[in-house]
Amino acid sequence: MRTPFLLMDEDMVVSRYQEFTEVFKEAQVFYSLKANPDGNIISLLNRLGLGFEVSSEGELDLFIERGIPPQRIISSNPVKSPSFIQRAKEYGMDRFAFDSEEELSKLSSLAPRSRVYVRLEVDNTGSEWPLTRKFGTPPERASLLLRRAREKELIPYGITFHVGSQCVNILAFRKAILKAREVLGEFKGQGPFMLNLGGGFPITYRDPVPSISQIAREIKDLIPEGVELAVEPGRALVGEAGIMVASVLGSRIKDGERWLYLDVGVFNGLLESIGGIRYPLFSSKEGERGKWIVAGPSCDSMDTIGEAELPFLEVGDKVHIGSAGAYTISYASHFNGFPPPKVYLRKGPIKGNLDLE
C-alpha cells in the first residue's frame, strides 16, 4: 500500500461521540467539519445523527450532496462570504454566528429572519492555537449586538465562544461560561436561547491532557438551566482515532545530528507541527533507539516535524504517527508535488493492521 495514508478507527470515533453525549446530556453535538472533512467520516457521523458546523460553500456542498437536512447544520464562522450566506439560506439553514455590525448587516440582507448567535471574546490561555485576537466581542458589546439583531429583523438566538484549539486549561472553559452568563441574563425568557460551548477540547499527543469528562465535571455547575446547550467538537472526535503511516525516504548525520526524512511532512499532512503540536512517532522495528530530527519530503527547510526516539531505520521502513486524525488531511496540500495522504476508515482496533496488508 502506497504511503502516506491515514487510518481512521471507526469505533473510536463512535466512542468519542458517545462520551460527549454522556457527559453533556441534552446537548446538541455539531461536528466541526474543518477537523477532518473525509467523506466516510461525514457518512459515519451522519448515521449517528450528529449535527455539523460549516464555514464555506465547499463544506456545505459536501452535505448537500449527501442530503443532510439543513436543520442539522449551523455556521459558527463569524465572518462569512455573501455567496455562502445566500447559498446556505437557500438550502434552508437558519443559524449563523456573528461578532460585528457588518456581519449583522450581511445576514439581515441575505438571510432575513434567521437565528443568530454572537461570538464572545474569551481567554485562550492554555491553547495551542489561540483564536481570540481574530474573533469575538466583549460581553457588553455582545448584548448590544443581539439587540441590534432584533432591530434588523433577525432572531437573537444565543451565545458562542471558542477557548482556542487544543486547550488544556479547564479554567479557560469556566471563565468563558461566566462571561456568557453576563449576557444570558438579559435574554432569559425571551424565547429559545442557545449556549454553544464551541470546540477546543484537547486530545492526547505526547503529554496527558484533561479528558472530556474532567472538563464537563468542572464546568457543569456554571451552565444555566433552560438554555439549549451545544458543543462543537472537531479534534476531540477524530484526532486520536487516526494513525498516519509513512515511509522512510532517507537518513543522514549532519553537524552531529541524526536526520530522518519521511514521505509525509508539514505541507502534505502535518502542518500543525509548526504550531506546537508534537505527534507521537513510533516504529515496530527492533533495535537500539536514539534521538532523530524528523523531516518531511519537500525542499523547504520549514518542512521539519520535530524530534523522536526511534531505532535506526532504512529506506522503505514504516513510521507510524499517532493522534493524526484531525487537521492533517484538511490542511494538506500538493506542495512540491507530494500528495496528501489517502484516508481509510476501519472498524475495530487498527494498531495490528497498520499496513493494510
The structural domains of the chain, with segments of one domain joined by +, span 10-238, 242-324
Cα–Cα distance between 206 and 191 in angstroms, integer?
45
> What letter does residue 120 receive in the DSSP assignment?
B
Report how far apart, in Å, the C-alpha atoms of 168 and of each of 73, 128, 211, 236, 241 are: 27, 9, 9, 12, 19
Q: Among 246, 256, 257, 255, which residue's Cα sits nearest to residue 296? A: 246
Instruction: Specify the CATH superfamily of domain 10-238.
Output: Alanine racemase (3.20.20.10)
What pLDDT was estimated at residue 213? 96
CA 322 vs. chain centroid, Å, equals 16
10-23 vs 39-48: helix axis angle to the nearest 10?
A: 40
What pLDDT was estimated at residue 354? 55
Q: What is the pLDDT along the chain (357 residues), one digit of tens a residue?
A: 899 999 999 999 999 999 999 999 989 999 999 999 999 999 999 999 999 999 999 999 999 999 999 999 999 999 999 999 999 999 999 999 999 999 999 999 999 999 999 999 999 999 998 888 899 999 999 999 999 999 999 999 999 999 999 999 999 999 999 999 999 988 887 889 999 999 999 999 999 999 999 999 999 999 999 999 999 999 999 999 999 999 999 999 999 999 999 999 999 999 999 988 999 999 999 999 999 999 999 999 999 999 999 999 999 999 999 999 999 999 999 999 999 999 999 987 665 445 444
The answer to whether 299 is a known catalytic residue is yes
Based on C-alpha coordinates, what's the Rg of the chain? 22
110 within 8 A of 88, measured Cβ to Cβ: no
Q: Amino acid identity of 275?
A: G
Cα–Cα distance between 139 and 180 in angstroms, integer?
7
CATH-assigned architecture of domain 242-324: Beta Barrel (2.40)
What pLDDT was estimated at residue 350? 64
What pLDDT was estimated at residue 348? 72
Exactly one of 286, 299, 347, 357 is catalytic; name it: 299
